[in-house]
Amino acid sequence: MEKDTYTRFVIPVVIVLVAVISIIILGGLASENPDGFEWALFDFAGVTEPESGFPGLFSFLGEGPLVDVLTGAVGIVIVLFIGLLIFKATSRKE
């Protein structure tokens, strides 16, 4: 395998795999409890949490940790793909 082939195909696959594995591991650490600022607004100021008008692209999957991991992984892959497209569009051609 040539170095160019290794750089063009293996390294991006490894980066995506590391990102997906990281979101799976760190997805369980996310808290559903509001942070301190939200807690102060809800309890002391009487502010209610606003309702969203858009349920989301993956709302048909329901809720749960597996759905959070899946949607996080899809989001990471999409962002990496968009970054790759921007990089290819703006990089110099030799």
Q: Which residue range is the domain that position 32 belongs to?
A: 3-49+57-90
Question: Which DSSP state fits 10?
Answer: I
Q: What is the mean pLDDT of residues 78-89?
A: 88
Question: Which DSSP state fits 13?
Answer: H
Please give the distance of CA 83 from its chain centroid, rounded to a whole number.
13
- Least confident among 39-43, 57-61, 72-76: 39-43
Instruction: Give the CA radius of gyration of the chain.
Output: 19
Q: Enter the tokens of residue 57.
A: 């692209």
HSE on the CB side for 16, CA within 13 Å? 16
Number of domains in the chain: 1
User: For a pLDDT cut of 90, what percent of the chain falls above it?
Assistant: 1
CB atoms within 10 A of CB 49: 9
Over residues 8-43, the pLDDT tens digits come to: 778 778 888 887 788 777 766 666 666 777 777 778
User: What local confidence, expressed as pLDDT, does residue 31 receive?
Assistant: 65
